[in-house]
Structure 1
Amino acid sequence: MFPSFSYEMPTRVEFGRGVVRNVGHEVSALGSRVLILSDEGVRKAGLLDIVTGHLVEASVLYELFLDIEPNPKDHNVHRAAEAAGAFEADCLLAVGGGSPIDCAKGVAIVAAAGGRIRDYEGRFVPAVTPLPVIAIPTTAGTASELTFGAVITDTAEHFKFTVKSPALAPKVALADPEMTATMPRNLTAFTGMDALTHAIEAYTCRVATPFSDAPALVAMDLIGRFLRRAWQDGRDMEAREGMLLGSLLAGMAFSHSDVAAVHCLAEALGAMYDAPHGACNAIALPAVMAYSMEACVDRYADVARCLGLSFATTEEGARAAVREVQQMARDLELPSIAVFGVREEDFEIIAAKAEANLSNPDNPRVLTRADYVALLRILTGTV
């Protein structure tokens, strides 16, 4: 018997080398005054100059807002919403990784409807139409450019929360692999493993459907083939294309399934230490896979097939998938979570937040607080 499900993808995706040239046309179709949300890293890489050059050619009025931190904060959203109002922006353009894009989604509703971003926590139906968002990803990992949720940090409570509505999804995503070519090695590794996490968790979680399975399987194949290549040579454009496409497909998958324990742990760590979300996912993935494997042997064997592995039995395949992801982490020189200053005295607090995450029940093996503490001991080498 097949599961019941609902499928919706509000974002039009334009994929390919050079599609960023169309940004002026796309913005003009939605508004006449655009607030660009980005960050200093994107500016220093020269990517904003490319985008604004095309906007000038199309005679589009724009204003820049660059005060966006990794793990976007509530105050980033509120200040950007004020900037949007002062500029009388009728359209938002997010250029960057998940942080500027998630921030833009938050600004879209706060600038239009008022209030504080925490007022919209959870899934909601907006009373007014949010400002339209166009997204240009400069990383290949978060897939925020086509998802309809945003993860924001409440700075008072050190808590990450989600706002979610199809109305927040970008109207258009200009997914240009050339815009990802300047990523340094460590960011390529973290975002690439983030994308792999999305695909694996979407496929192995308890609420997977055929519509999430299909893109997840293709995403795993692409990431397995191209992540190491993109890390080794950032100017390998075939590898950059493969990774961006894999990231997009993984985003489609988890948007119509869920994530699971890796994200539960990563979001708790990110809120506690302001650690980069993709990095937390990347570092936690191998350990959580090993911990969850026995509850999802058949699907883990499918993961192994997608990663190009051969095996005789499904049990061997599941173990091979875990070993391959562990090897990938070593090949990409991923650090320990100790680099984020994780303290043993914080384990119980982190574990409690992870256990309370709404995605925890969807992990193949539902983890308890004690399980998360055990994982933290493994990840920090304090077993």
Structure 2
Amino acid sequence: MANKVVLNEVSYHGKGAILSVTEEAKRRGFKKAFICSDPDLIKFHVTKKVTDLLDKEGLPYEIYSEIKANPTIENVQGGVAAFKNSGADYIIAIGGGSSMDTSKAIGIIIANPAFEDVRSLEGLSATTKPAVPIFAIPTTAGTAAEVTINYVITDVEKKRKFVCVDPHDIPVVAFVDPDMMSSMPKGLTASTGMDALTHAIEGYTTKGANTITDMFNLKAIELIAQSLRGAVENTPEGREGMALGQYLTGMGFSNCGLGIVHSMAHGLGALYDTPHGVANAIILPTVMEYNKDAVGEKLRDVAKAMGVANTEKMSKEEYQKAAIDAVKKLAEDVGIPKDLKNIVKPEDVDFLSQSAMDDACRPGNPRDPKLEDIQELFKRLL
């Protein structure tokens, strides 16, 4: 079977990447930008780094900031209405996954009005037209939404998140500039970085993995393992390594899928507003243990990429344990909690487990879980 790979038309990487925003806008003949960015980024003048460039070149824009950490259907609906009234012809998404996901949903609905009911976008979408052109400028090194064909929206009414998968939503240009990430606090750097590691490990071991995605994801594991501790301390090398590592796994997992770590984490975000990266980081080692016998020798590769020595001499049990322990150690070093005791209420386990079973990421898991398996995994984490 042929493997399909979808990436940005253009991407810029490294210090000063955002300087190319105005050049790209003018080259493409765009007239007015609709900027999606969250209130904190505006408050702390991170968004201003981009709007100053637009101002200097006389390029008009309008800012939409009604975006929550776990963007909701209402955020998207408000953005669609604001875009229609703005006279804009392209979107600039500035922020982490929340700004990116909101932008993707807005862009898709504007171009495909038949999908104005946001819930209709869940799963593998049947849209027919590319989204309004999106320039994506990440300020976190984690979601890689600037290069993926996925976005996640929270349904507050039903207390669940739903994943939308649509090649039409991919940003046309990504500007991955570590300077845009330098103001991230330690906690956010840690959680988004562990989100990126989860993408890479799940992507490397998912059922849909192939030679191309393996190349991206394995290198991403290596870069993240080398860089995340430094990024948390805000070293330039750490920031640069994480900016590239999270993008590489975005190219990978977007084209092969994820697994039940994300399925379980999505429910925590919807029900408790748990930061997505924190949820993933806590759940990842337990699910790696659950999946270990379904992924062949791939955990040997993961252990080696995480920096474990002499993996070629290890038995199956040894390299499996080494990979899982290396992930636990990295999470501990950057301050991630070890369990879900302070997050999950025992009475919610059944609801969370069913939500995970219904999640779009679940079929990609290397081991096919039953509802009882998910329930047991949650209980182990309490």
Give the TM-score range, shorter chain. over 0.9
For 1:37-56, list aligned pairs within 5 A: 37-56=36-55
Q: State the shift of 1:291 in Å.
A: 2.1
**Which residue of the other structure, out of 310, 331, 334, is the alignment partner of 1:332?**
334
Q: Give the CA deviation at 1:126.
A: 2.9
Give the SS at the match of 2:241: helix
**Distance between the aligned counterparts of 2:221 and 2:106, measured in 1?**
32
Query: What corresponds to 2:288 in structure 1?
Result: 289
Which position in structure 2 is the counterpart of 1:278?
277
Structure 1, unaligned stretches of length 5 or more?
Answer: none
The answer to whether structure 1 residue 180 and structure 2 residue 178 are counterparts is no
Moved more, 81-90 or 308-317: 308-317
Give the C-alpha shift of residue 72 in structure 1.
Answer: 0.9
Query: Residue 220 of structure 1 aligns with which residue?
Result: 221
Instruction: Say if 1:153 and 1:161, in contact at 8 Å, map to a contact too.
Output: yes
Partner amino acid, structure 2, of 1:360: R
Distance 1:95 1:286 in 2: 31
| Aligned amino acid, residue 244 of structure 1 | A
- Shift of residue 202, structure 1, vs aligned partner: 0.7
- The yes-or-no answer on 1:8 pairing with 2:11 is no
CA RMSD of aligned residues (A): 1.5
* Residue aligning to 2:245: 246
- Deviation of the 1:160 alpha carbon: 1.6
2:160 equivalent to 1:162: no
How far off its partner does 1:125 sit? 4.3
Q: Secondary structure of the equivalent of 2:6?
A: coil
The 5 Å alignment of 1:92-241 reads: 92-114=91-113, 115-231=116-232, 233-234=233-234, 236-241=235-240
Deviation at 1:158, TM superposition (A): 1.7
Code of the residue aligned with 2:38 in structure 1: it is: D
Please tell me whether residue 267 in structure 1 is matched to residue 291 in structure 2.
Answer: no
- The whole-number CA distance in structure 2 between the counterparts of 1:30 and 1:196 is 37
C-alpha deviation, 1:30, in angstroms: 5.0
Counterpart for residue 25 of structure 1 = 23
* Inter-partner Cα distance in structure 2 for 1:174 and 1:56: 18
Structure 2: 5+ residue stretches without partners: none
**Counterparts in 2 of 1:297 and 1:77: CA distance versus 1, 3 Å:** same
Return the letter of the residue paired with 1:273: Y
The Cα of 1:288 is off from its aligned counterpart by: 1.3
Task: Give distance in 2, aligned partners of 1:48 and 1:171.
Answer: 20
Matched residue type, 1:119: S
Alignment deviations for residues 118-171 of structure 1 (CA, whole Å, 9 cap, x no partner): 222222343444211101000000000011221111222122222222221101
Q: Contact conserved, 2:8 with 2:174, CA < 8 A, in 1? A: no
Q: How much has 1:333 moved relative to structure 2?
A: 1.4
CA distance 1:317–1:295, change in 2 (3 Å): same
Q: TM-score, normalised by structure 1?
A: 0.94
Cα distance in 2 between the residues matched to 1:124 and 1:11: 21
- Distance change >3 Å, CA 161–CA 118, structure 1 → 2: same
Give the Cα–Cα distance (whole angstroms) in 1 for the partners of residues 263 and 75 of structure 2. Answer: 23
Q: Report the AA paired with residue 15 of structure 2.
A: R
The aligned residue for residue 65 of structure 1 is 64
Q: Which residue of 1 aligns with 2:346?
A: 344
- Give me the whole-angstrom Cα distance separating, in 2, the residues matched to 1:313 and 1:244: 32
**Residue 318 of structure 1, CA deviation:** 1.6
Aligned residue in 2 for 1:91: 90
My pick for the range that moved more, 85-94 or 41-50, is: 41-50
Kept in 2: contact 1:140–1:192 (CA 8 A): yes
Contact 1:33 1:61 in 2 (8 A): yes
Q: For each residue in 1:172-224, what CA deviation from the matched residue of structure 2 results, as whole angstroms up to 9, or x when unmatched? A: 00000110111111111111110001110111112210011000111011001
Moved over 4 A (4+): none
Separation in structure 2 between the aligned mates of residue 4 and residue 177 of structure 1, nearest angstrom: 35
Moved more, 80-89 or 351-360: 351-360
Which residue, out of 367, 376, 379, partners 1:377? 379
> Does residue 361 in structure 1 map to residue 363 in structure 2?
yes
Aligned length, in residue pairs: 375
* 1:365–1:112 Cα change, 3 Å: closer
Distance 1:351 1:30, change over 3 A: farther
In structure 2, what residue type is equivalent to 1:216? N
> CA contact under 8 A between 1:263 and 1:281: conserved in structure 2?
yes
Q: Contact 1:10–1:166 at 8 Å: present in 2 too?
A: no
Q: 1:309 is aligned with what amino acid?
A: V
1:80 matched residue in structure 2: 79
Distance, in Å, in 2 between the alignment partners of 1:77 and 1:358 is 20
The residue identity in structure 1 corresponding to 2:4 is S
Which residue identity is paired with 1:50? K
Fraction of identical pairs, as percent: 37
Greater CA deviation, 24-33 or 262-271? 24-33
